[in-house]
Structure 1
Amino acid sequence: MRGQTLLLGLTLVFGGGSALADDALFGLIDERLRHMRDVALHKWHHQLPIEDVARERVVVRSARRAAVRHGVDGDGAERFFIAQIEAAKTIQSHWFGRWDTEPPRRQAPDLATDIRPRLLELGDEIVARLRQVPASSTARAAFDAALTTEGLSTGSRVALFAALGATNRYASTLARIAANGELRVGTAGDYAPFTYSANDESWVGVDIDQARDLGRALGVPVRFVPTSWPTLMDDVLDGRFDIAMGGISRNVARARLARFTGPYFTDGKTAIARCADAALYTSLGDVDRPGVRVIVNPGGTNQRFVDANIREASVIVWPDNRTVFDEIAAGRADVMFTDGIEVRLQTVRHPGLCGALPALTYLDKAYLIPRIQGDRAWLETVNVWLEQRVASGAVERLIERHVNAR
């Protein structure tokens, strides 16, 4: 109840604002659509197709990420930007149809120097104002009055207004959590003892237990959102969850794009090999030589370590971190570099595997939070909770329990 009371209070203080018709937003949308005549003119003169699927994907992803940084729900924002692109193509098709019978007499402004810079400015202005519009007759009348661009079809108009009605903006992550009644936790599910799931439905691990405790502190249930090491930062930037948990190493590359909490565990890269061969590897040079097969899971700090340090040994990129240690045990690979805690765990689960080499690097484990403008309360809240968990010994007890579990 205390967590629910806290979130309710934050919602009242930091709520997303009233859902009102926004004439300025409608005007910006219409202005952007009006530029589609010049875009169409450029494509007409250069014999370019109206549809450019690759560029549309780039535009939608970039716009979604900008919206997420402004506190807009990513899925709703993406639906709006897709509707906007479809409306733009409808308008361009309208002009192509007219020019088939009456070719245009004027040349188009330059797309790169004249049209696109203004479209980017308008996109930023739209993102800054993007919010939910009520499905009321008053709002619809204001929307219809503002959108006067020639060639905009009735279907596109309906789709745009519907997308605005499903676009939610939150003043803070805590306000979003309170409004939706859940904590979204991104986790890879392939890095025991921190996070493990065989089917993306049942989850176990240190950080799974930690996530559930955080949910209890906030008074909301937890929904685990599957991610992967290659896609982790994309998913954070796309706003697919409120926090990423699961043995994530703090590094500068990630910190440039998102916010880290304080650390809750300190570790380092080391090596694991078959016990019969472990004595052969007393230094990094013993591993990095012809004939040694180094196996690595893709996308995370393990692969970055291998890419930076292995030159002579052969490298096997194994896509499933859940089974990668089986490859060493079966003799199809010789060595893997990973964190010390994972070596401890896997030597318990695979009696034929042993640690090799002392720690080669220093790293901290922490939780990762999307970077949203003006939202410091979420990071501060998680840090206070985490500091209390570490100080009480709860995290250490979870680690020992999961490392020694069979």
Structure 2
Amino acid sequence: MKSKLLCLSLLLAASCSAQADRLSDIQESGVLRVGTTGDYKPFSSFDGKNYSGYDIDVAKHVANQLGVKLELVKTSWKNLIPDLNADKYDIAMGGITRKMQRQLNAEQTQGYMTFGKCFLVAKGTAEKFNTLDKVNGEKIRVGINVGGTNEIFANNNLEKAIFTRYENNLDVPQAVAEGKVDVMVTETPEALYYQATDKRLEAVRCDNPFTKSQFGYLIPKGEQELLNTMNFIMDEMKLKGIDDTLMKQNSLR
């Protein structure tokens, strides 16, 4: 009996040691690697030299809480999870929608903001594009970023429209402002941000979006300790009002 118990204990110990422990790796290396697209204001923006945005500020706060340095890694929407699974970074951050497909391939933190799909259009044209039926027309030009949930929404709801697909999400609002496309499929925080910062643009349906979702952060599958720690930090940010302060700094409040 003792022999069987010993074997069982050894097997359990081996199993535990074989499990991933990304949090310990981060602490040992002294570096937190955060993957971000850098093309989704006001959450993550890259100007060629520096990153800025709400989730960049949150990433800095998380690194500070862990007592490590922050390393920001450029990725794209279509490679968000493949790069995470390829160990190019420890966490993906930057206006990432929580959804089932991502849950099946990664861990998702708790949500930190509720939002919905809406449109961004040229100033004064909101009435022309305030319903799906009005935008889902053969002559309507719709701009979408490749690889994200905006593209999925457009494919499912605006199949009659003319699509222009952009690799860099920052190019889409500019295309609307310059009259290259009529409508940008976007989300409430981004639409309101561009409406406030560019007089040429107007947000549509932000008070009554077409969908409801939440933003969260992505962590490699099975990394429960890191997931628990991120959720704890997010709880503390909410409790102490840190999240609200950072949102105000990034025009989200």
Fold match (TM-score > 0.5)? yes
Q: Which residue of structure 2 aligns with residue 388 of structure 1?
A: 236
So what's the TM-score if we normalise by structure 2? 0.89
Aligned residues: 237
What amino acid does structure 1 have at the position aligned with 2:58?
Q
CA distance in 2, matches of 1:392, 1:304: 36
2 CA distance for matches of 1:343 and 1:171?
39
State the SS of the aligned residue for 2:124.
Answer: coil
- Cα distance in 2 for partners of 1:274, 1:217 equals 42
Following superposition, the deviation at residue 312 of structure 1 comes to: 1.4
Q: Specify the alignment match of 1:362 in structure 2.
A: 212
Alignment of 1:275-294 (within 5 A): 275-294=123-142
- What amino acid is the match of 1:268? G
| Counterparts of residues 5-404 of structure 1 (less than 5 Å) | 171-199=20-48, 201-357=49-205, 358-372=208-222, 375-403=223-251
Cα drift, residue 367 of structure 1: 0.7
Residues 188 and 246 in structure 1, CA contact (< 8 A), matched pair in contact too: yes
Closer, same or farther: CA 353–171 of 1 in aligned 2, 3 Å: closer
The 1-side partners of 2:43 and 2:183 are apart by 22
Highest CA radius of gyration, 1 or 2? 1
Distance 1:367 1:289 in 2: 35
Partner of 1:64: none
The answer to whether the Cα contact below 8 Å between 1:193 and 1:399 also exists between their aligned partners in 2 is no
- Select between 246-255 and 274-283 the one with higher mean Cα deviation: 274-283
Which gives a bigger RCO, structure 1 or 2 (Cα 8 Å, sep 6+)?
A: 2
1:255-309 Cα deviation digits (max 9, x unpaired): 0000001111110101111122111123110110121101101000110111111
Q: CA RMSD in A?
A: 2.0
2:189 and 2:252 in contact (8 A); partners too: no
> Greater strand percent: which structure?
2
AA partner of residue 305 (structure 1):
F
Give the alignment's TM-score, normalised by structure 1.
0.56
- Unpaired segments ≥5 residues, structure 2: 1-15
Greater helix fraction, Structure 1 or Structure 2: 1
The 1-side partners of 2:63 and 2:50 are apart by 17
Identity fraction in percent: 33
Distance 2:204 2:73 in 1: 34
Report the alpha carbon displacement of residue 323 of structure 1 after superposing the two structures with TM: 2.0
Q: Distance in 2 between matches of 1:376 and 1:328?
A: 42
- AA at the equivalent of 1:297: N
Gaps of 5+ in 1: 1-69, 72-127, 129-169
For the residues of structure 1 that align with 2:239 and 2:114, how far apart are their CA atoms? 15
How far 1:400 sits from its partner (Å)?
Answer: 2.4
- Please give the alpha-carbon distance, in whole angstroms, between the structure 2 residues aligned to 1:282 and 1:211: 35
CA distance in 1, matches of 2:130, 2:58: 36
Could you list the structure 1 runs, at least 4 aligned residues long, displaced by more than 3 angstroms after superposition: none
- What is the CA deviation profile of residues 171-197 of structure 1, one whole-angstrom value per residue up to 9, with x for unaligned ones? 511210122111111111111111111
Change (3 A) 1:404 1:381: closer
Change (3 A) 1:254 1:171: closer
Match of 2:95, SS? strand
